[in-house]
Structure 1
Amino acid sequence: MALWNRDWKLLLASLVGFLLIAILAIYEDIFMLIFGFTFADLLGRAKSKWHIASGIFGMAVMFLIVFLATTNSLALVDSQVLVPMMIIQLVFPVLIYFVEKSKNLQNELADVNTQLVQQEERQRIARDLHDTIGHTLTMIKVKTELTTKLIDRDPSSVKQELNDILATTRTALKQVRELVSDMNFVSLQTELLHCQQLLQSANITTTIHNHCPKIVLSSVEETMLALCVREATTNMLKHSQAQNCQMQIHCRNTQYTIAIQDDGIGLEQKGLGNGMNSMKERMRVLQGYALFEGDTKTGTKVLFSIPIQDGKEPLT
């Protein structure tokens, strides 16, 4: 019933339920009152505090009517059981109300976090546009202005400048495609297998060990991790000079972790333009972190770790 609209209809259903239970308790068995927990739970899911208060009052009236009608036949032992049960039932709707309110707040917080992640990703894309395509378009503008000046003074150089403009335009088109690709959902499992194929085609023996394949990640988390794995793989291909690579996925202490280890030359020989800041930023958006360590003896180890969010249960 989708709990109807959680309005006066829910209150009415609870009051009718309490009335039926009172009748059954008087004419059948007084311990039928235990079924009041069902309607107390229903009452606690109402949106209005006034409806909950009215329902609790109706519940108290139910208990009063039953006790007055069964005073003569009610044993002392029965009253010792029923009185605590009555108190618990009266408090139960309030407890359910706060539990439901807490769940709603958690859902709202999750929605806000998702919006923040999306906003962070928009800002990252804006920076990428400025740093890559903006720079490329500036080059095209400068080259075009230069070509305009050379048409009259040095026609022989115009062809070379036009070829440069064409090459730069192709670069810009490639950058746009890469950015669009980054904005789409990327499967982590697919990206891991793709990176394994790339590394092995470069004669880097690669093994993948997934120790928690049943953990469910959100699409944003999965895409961010996949892009970080892609960036780390690109760096390895460009800089590591490695022969072996291991990728391991672990779930420890509420953390989902991907560790990538190679036996290359380590970080010391690598330049600064290897995308480390981009990977760290993606992990920070997910409230996680990225670590990089290594030297010429042990190679490079890259670690991506994000918290496993509440409510993400392993698949059965």
Structure 2
Amino acid sequence: MFYKLYPRDQIKNYLLIDVVLTVFLCYCVFRSDTALGLWGSLLLLLLYFVSFYFALWCRGGLLLAAVLSGLSAIAVFGVYIEPSVLMFGIVFADLLGRSKSKVHIAIGSGAIAISYLLVFLIRQEPLLETSNAIYLPVMIIQTVYPIVIYIKEKAKSLQGELDEANEQIAKYIQQEERQRIARDLHDTLGQTLMMIKMKSELATKWVDKDSALAKRELSEILDTTRTALKQVRELVSDMKFVSLPSELEHSAKLLHTAGIALSIEDLEKPPLLSSVEETMLALCIREAMTNIIKHSRAKRCTIRLETKDHVYGIHIADDGIGFTGQGDGNGIPSIMERMKTLGGSSAIVPSPEGGTRVSLKLPLRRHEKEDAS
């Protein structure tokens, strides 16, 4: 019930102040014997409290109307009791500052100043008289106070929006980090585990026919398992740098294990790439090799690297069953996302000769050597 009379969000900072000011106003009114009489004073107090209630809960035009009626009640008290009652107008000055309209704040602030001037004019007491000198700075403070509150509320609102935006950014970062981890797990561990699977199948095949070959495959499985453990550690710490030459060498070994012949055509000396660019391109090649082994049923694969018109291109072609779509995996989207991040482009299309062609193109930029002295 109480929360319907007084806003919950104002209890901590304003309730005690409002109670104290209300008690003092009632005391000033009832201790004074004025021409208003008891009923006149009660009606004005009722107008004050009704105006205060609406000013607490309303915004927009109703807030301005409540402030103006409340200031009017205080001004009448100021005329019939004493000018010090005008100081209670600080309550409405504070509530006026909650308005979202600058025009309403300007009108209300003007009304505060006018109420002071009218009271002293009607009472025929000079505002600048020595005995009344305190009222001029009080009037100025009350007139400016709504503007101060407006700026404070605006800053609070902007801070709230900033906090909300920061929360949203944190969620986006968390989501992006999850996607990165999923992509890296798919690109690195997925390929390694696939190699373990193939070598396990070979070991099973040779275990009864040729124990020496079976032992060799099992030994390679052990080495690959160690590699997988190392990759896990690297992924936990951060994404490692992957060089193109090492990835091409790794791809050749992987395709050889899968029974696919690989031909690498490096037409000229590769350009100087940043660590991020080289790593991204290497991971794109890794993903393409994984897709070839998994889906292509190819016998041969060609990787051609070339630089043309300030664009570094990597072209991968196989003689498999051809491109059938993106499917539900992370592979092709990962390639496209990585190239987009680098400001490059990617194309995965069926080859006219059969199979699939993957083209990665990266615009070249000037990079200083990272180890330059």
TM-score, normalization by structure 1: 0.43
Greater radius of gyration (CA): 2
| Higher relative contact order (Cα pairs below 8 Å, separated by 6+ residues) | 1
